[in-house]
């Protein structure tokens, strides 16, 4: 059965990325609240306008309950969808559904956390994996962690498609070229392929510079019905389509050559009624460089196996490539708050569509963008959430 047409039924009217990358003197709840304040100011709305609240497990307390209290919200619709780093893209999608169903008019989405101040190394996960997670007895004793799990996919990708370490490094290079124009980026110095390859090997074939940053901070989004969006002073960004998917061990028929984005992407494009060729800017989840190459293939920007060459040809670099990506510097260089890049993917796509990206990396006349989120581990079990966004 075809989906109900939800195109342009809700708009992203507020977007805020917390400028902090290290917040030793703030609580997680405070960061959530500062993000909410920033997004409402950006939208030109106030706290009393919010009647829907969306959050994931990074909220301190019990789902939406404790942050609703802390923020002073009076929501008539709440949603604590938890899909790891993909959660916040799904929150956008679910808020469109809620607005279309008249469950709320103005939805607030928040993400925040402070893993950098709290400690924890490369590829650390959040503290909220329940000890009775059923997969863990057959994962944890083997040293299961994000870096080696992404590395299993990278190693197989190299074996099947001839992808090289230099091609993986080219993802980082493109992100770093963009980050140099972002004064809030954690790492603002451009790097070369040689520097990526010379950085310490973390988990073969992923070097240190194939891994994203660990940062404190967060972000917030406001989604509202179109009548409200058009009454505000900001450019209108429509949610055109959305798709979600899960992929894991395939019941033991493991195939790590593709990600759940191969399912969520086509669902989002079908809902939006556009094709990958129409997209002018892409926010791609970049916890590790291999994730970007696989999303490029799985979302249909190049053929399966061609992702490495697509990147190597410079296609991700603003001002020269066919598909500028992560023009804020992404998780690789700018920000990966609470080990979760989902909300920053949406925020930078909104900036591009509004024409408010940093001048040197703004895509001229950007009217159609994709934001792709991933939660979990691409070489293991994970969820993806894909959004197609449009400048009205």
- What's the min distance (Å) between Cβ of 376 and another protein? 14
Start-to-end CA distance of the chain, whole Å, equals: 28
Q: How far is CA 178 from CA 189, 260, 330, 360, in A?
A: 10, 27, 9, 8
Tell me the C-alpha distance between 316 and 325, whole Å: 5
Question: Is 149 near another protein (CB under 8 A)?
Answer: yes
Please name the residues in contact with 83: beta carbons below 8 A apart, sequence gap of 6 or more. Answer: 56, 90, 244, 373, 375, 383, 385
Q: How far is the CB of 330 from another protein (least distance, A)?
A: 22
Is 140 a binding residue for another protein by CB under 8 A? The answer is: yes
Partners of 385 in the beta sheet? Answer: 244, 373
From 83, 147, 224, 291, residue interacting with another protein (rule: CB under 8 A): 147
153 scored as a contact of another protein (CB under 8 A): yes
322 bridge partner residues:
none
| 127 is a site residue for another protein (CB under 8 A) | no
Residue 364 interacts with another protein (CB under 8 A): yes or no: no
1, 25, 119, 141: residue in contact with another protein (rule CB under 8 A): 141
Q: Which of 333, 359, 327 is nearest to 21 (CA)?
A: 333
Question: CB of 360: closest distance to another protein in angstroms?
Answer: 34
Q: How far is the CB of 387 from another protein (least distance, A)?
A: 29
What's the rounded Cα separation, in Å, for the pair 104 and 337? 27
Say whether residue 206 binds another protein (CB under 8 A): yes
Of 135 and 194, CB closest to another protein? 135
Q: Does 137 bind another protein (CB under 8 A)?
A: yes
Q: Rule CB under 8 A: say whether 202 interacts with another protein.
A: yes
Nearest distance, CB of residue 141 and another protein, angstroms: 5
Phi and psi, residue 243, nearest 5°: -150, 150
Strand, coil or helix: 111: strand
# residues contacting another protein (CB under 8 A): 41
**Could you say whether residue 151 binds another protein (CB under 8 A)?**
yes
**Site for another protein (CB under 8 A): which residue of 12, 55, 71, 154?**
154
- Residue 189 · residue 332 · CB < 8 Å: no
Residue 155 binds to another protein (criterion: CB under 8 A): yes
> What DSSP string describes 350-380?
HHHHHT-S-GGGPPTT--EEEEEEEEE-TTS
Query: Judged by CB under 8 A, which of 83, 373, 379, 386 binds another protein?
Result: 379
Give the separation between CA 117 and CA 19, rounded to whole angstroms: 15
Interaction site with another protein (CB under 8 A): 122-123, 131-132, 134-145, 147-149, 151-156, 159, 200-206, 249, 251-254, 256, 379-380
């Amino acid at each position: 059965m075809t989906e109900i047409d939800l195109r342009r039924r809700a708009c992203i009217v507020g977007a805020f990325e917390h400028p902090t990358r290290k917040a030793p003197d703030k609580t997680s709840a405070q960061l959530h609240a500062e993000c909410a304040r920033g997004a409402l100011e950006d939208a030109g709305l106030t706290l009393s306008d919010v009647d829907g609240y969306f959050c994931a497990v990074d909220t301190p307390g019990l789902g939406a309950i404790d942050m609703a209290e802390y923020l002073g919200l009076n929501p008539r619709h709440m949603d604590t969808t938890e899909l790891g780093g993909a959660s916040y893209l799904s929150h956008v999608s679910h808020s469109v559904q809620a607005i279309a169903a008249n469950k709320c008019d103005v939805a607030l989405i928040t993400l925040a956390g402070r893993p950098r101040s709290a400690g924890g190394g490369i590829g650390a996960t959040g503290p909220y994996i329940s000890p009775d997670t059923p997969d863990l007895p057959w994962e944890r004793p083997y040293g299961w962690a994000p870096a080696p799990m992404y590395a299993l996919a990278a190693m197989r990708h190299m074996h099947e498609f001839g992808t090289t370490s230099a091609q993986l490094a080219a993802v980082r290079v493109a992100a770093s070229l963009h980050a140099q124009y972002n004064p809030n980026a954690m790492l603002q110095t451009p790097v070369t392929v040689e520097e990526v390859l010379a950085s310490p090997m973390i988990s073969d074939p992923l070097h240190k510079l194939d891994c994203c940053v660990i940062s404190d901070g967060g972000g917030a989004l406001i989604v509202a019905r179109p009548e409200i969006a058009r009454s505000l002073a900001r450019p209108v960004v429509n949610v055109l389509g959305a798709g979600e998917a899960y992929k894991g061990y395939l019941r033991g028929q493991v195939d790590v050559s593709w990600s759940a984005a191969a399912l969520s992407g086509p669902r989002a494009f079908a809902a939006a009624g556009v094709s990958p060729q129409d997209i002018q800017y892409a926010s791609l989840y970049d916890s590790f460089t291999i994730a970007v190459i696989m999303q490029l293939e799985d979302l249909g920007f190049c053929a399966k196996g061609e992702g490495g060459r697509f990147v190597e040809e410079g296609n991700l670099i603003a001002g020269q490539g066919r598909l500028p990506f992560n023009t804020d510097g992404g998780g690789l260089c700018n920000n990966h708050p609470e080990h979760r890049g989902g909300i920053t993917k949406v925020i930078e796509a909104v900036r591009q569509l509004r024409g408010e990206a940093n001048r040197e990396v703004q895509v001229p006349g950007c009217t159609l963008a994709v934001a792709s989120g991933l939660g979990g581990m691409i070489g293991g079990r994970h969820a993806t959430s894909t959004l197609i966004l449009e400048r009205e």
